[in-house]
Structures are given as C-alpha cells and as structure tokens.
Amino acid sequence: MSETTIRLITEYAGKVLLLVALLILARLVAKWASLVVEKGLRKSKFDETLTKFFSNATRWVIITIAVIAMLGIFGVQTTSFVAVLGTAGLAIALAFQGSLANFAAGVMLLVFRPFKVGDVVSVGGSTGKVDEIGLFTTTLDTPDNRRIFMPNKSVFGTTLENISHHATRRVEVTVGTDYGADLDKTRDVLLNAAKAVASGLAEPAPAVVLVQLGGSSIDWAVRLWCNSKDFFPTKDALTREVKQHLDAAKIGIPFPQMDVHLDGGLKS
C-alpha cells in the first residue's frame, strides 16, 4: 500500500469516525430538545396540535443545522454549500414534489385548523381519533386500535368530516311497525322509549317522525340528542328501549317474509 493511500486513510478515517459520533450526538440533542419543547408547551397548556408540530420542527431544525456545520470537517465551506443548495433547489423540488406537497398541506392544516389533535374525523375512507398532525403525515387511531398514517395532501385535498367538532350529536334509530298498530299510540310509545334513555338530552327534545308507509311495515325514525362522547352508548341504549317499549305495548315489528303459492296438486 502506497504512502499516499495510507496518509489518506489516516487523514479521513478519523474525520469519518468523528462525523459519525457527531451525527449520533446531534440526534440525541435533537431528541432531547424536542422533548423539552413538547413538555414546556404542554405545561403552559399550549394547543396540542401546535405542540407536536413545534416539537417535530425543533428536532429537524437541529439535525439540519448540525449536518451543515459538520460539512466543514471535510473542508466544505458553508457559503459554497448554500450556493450548491440554491443551484440544486429546482432538482430537489422536482424529485421530492410529493413530499413538498405533503409539507405544504401540513402547513395549511395547521393554518386553517379543520381539526385538531384529539378530534374524531372521517377522511379517505378511514375514521379515527387524530393522534398527530406531522410535517408530512397525519396519524389516526381507529376505534379498534389500528394506527393509520395518511399523507397530508390526501387529507387536505379531499372531503373531510370532523365528527367530534360539535359538543352534541343526534342519534337516530329507524324501526318498522305493524300496519294494524294505531299511529298515535305507536308515536307515544316510541317517544317514551326515547325519553327513557338516561344519556339523552332534554333539549333539543326527542322526536318521532313517520318516515313512510313501506311494503310490509309503517316506518318510523326515533331521534334523540346526546353529548358527542356518548353517541355510541346512546344509540345502543335507544335501540334497546325502542324494542322493549314496542314489546311491552304489544306492537309488532314486521320482518321480511315470502309466501309461495303452488298451482295444481302435488305429485307423489
């Protein structure tokens, strides 16, 4: 091995090891700073959505500054590096246009705030509680405890339903009753069923609506308002009360059936 090769190895091996050590240190410092920012903002009761955003931004800013600073180890001048970045900016933008679109969408989500961390949303065919609005992705936790990562551009660029935006929601249970049942009596029975649900709200008042005269039943809609957090337990309780009250009043709930008529006698 030539003296030149040995000299280059000796010169750069130490720099490479130093660079690796500094990168590890930078990551540790970035993680520590991110946690400090997050804890500090939460202690001051800052908005949860912006808390996570600033925490992530702090980590990436420190790592970026550290990488630029460490380039000096290999003799790369910072001013030259900035010039190179400016020249390569267009190429990078074209190569990472998907990531940049996600980043821009993330900023728009934070600016317009269609939802915040902790809200329950339905978007792109998925429904879940918002865990984090990141720089590039939005994280949802589904009711059956699945974690979903959605690109921010997919979230911002489509129809989004914020299910938990309002403090109250309306529960609706539809049911069909026998044609022989008295309409006024049936309405009173269903209204009493709605009033029997403990988690229902008195205002707006419960309502029973005659929907239509169906093929085999008279169809009703029983509507009851509740707090948003009680929606699913309230719907379960309302369905139960409707069935029990109709049974107690001896009002039947028809079910689909088929009558078969045979022409002629049966052959043995």
C-alpha distances out from residue 145 to 77, 130, 133, 142, Å: 49, 12, 18, 5
pLDDT at 244: 96
pLDDT at 12: 64
pLDDT at 10: 64
Domain 114-162 sits in CATH 3.10.20.30? no
Q: Between these two residues, 88 and 41, which has the higher pLDDT value?
A: 41
Of 128, 122, 224, 121, whose CA–CA distance to 169 is shortest? 224
The sheet with strand 218-227 has its strands ordered as 168-177, 218-227, 207-213
Domain 3-95 sits in CATH 1.10.287.1260? yes
Torsions phi, psi of 173, nearest 5?
-120, 125
C-alpha distances out from residue 140 to 25, 119, 147, 231, Å: 31, 10, 6, 19
Instruction: Give me the helix-helix angle, 97-112 and 48-70, nearest 10°.
Output: 140
Peptide bond into 204 cis (omega under 30): yes
pLDDT at 55: 83
With beta carbons less than 8 A apart as the criterion, state whether 247 and 183 touch. no
Average pLDDT over residues 124-151: 90
Average pLDDT over residues 53-57: 80
Of 208, 213, 212, 240, whose CA–CA distance to 224 is shortest? 208
Angle at 136 between CA 120 and CA 153, to 5 degrees: 70
**Read out DSSP for 32-69?**
HHHHHHHHHHHHTT--HHHHHHHHHHHHHHHHHHHHHH
Q: Between these two residues, 208 and 100, which has the higher pLDDT value?
A: 208
CA distance 193 to 182: 17
pLDDT at 171: 97
CA distance 139 to 136: 10
Least confident of 13-22, 159-168, 199-208: 13-22
Q: Decide if pLDDT at 94 tops 80.
A: no
pLDDT at 67: 78
Of 183, 181, 207, whose CA–CA distance to 193 is shortest? 207
* pLDDT tens per residue across span 67-82: 777 776 666 665 555 5
> Which CATH number is correct for 168-248, 3.30.70.100, 3.40.50.80, 3.40.30.10, 3.40.50.300?
3.30.70.100
pLDDT at 111: 78
Average pLDDT over residues 185-214: 95
Least confident of 44-48, 52-56, 136-140, 215-219: 44-48
Sign (positive or negative) of CA dihedral 22, 28, 32, 35: positive
CA distance 127 to 164: 11
Angle at 173 between CA 172 and CA 177, to 5 degrees: 140
pLDDT at 28: 87
Of 192, 140, 199, 129, whose CA–CA distance to 164 is shortest? 129
According to DSSP, the residues that pair with 140 across neighbouring strands are 130, 148
- Could you state, in order of their start, the residue ranges of all structural domains in the chain? 3-95, 114-162, 168-248
Q: Decide if pLDDT at 164 tops 60.
A: yes
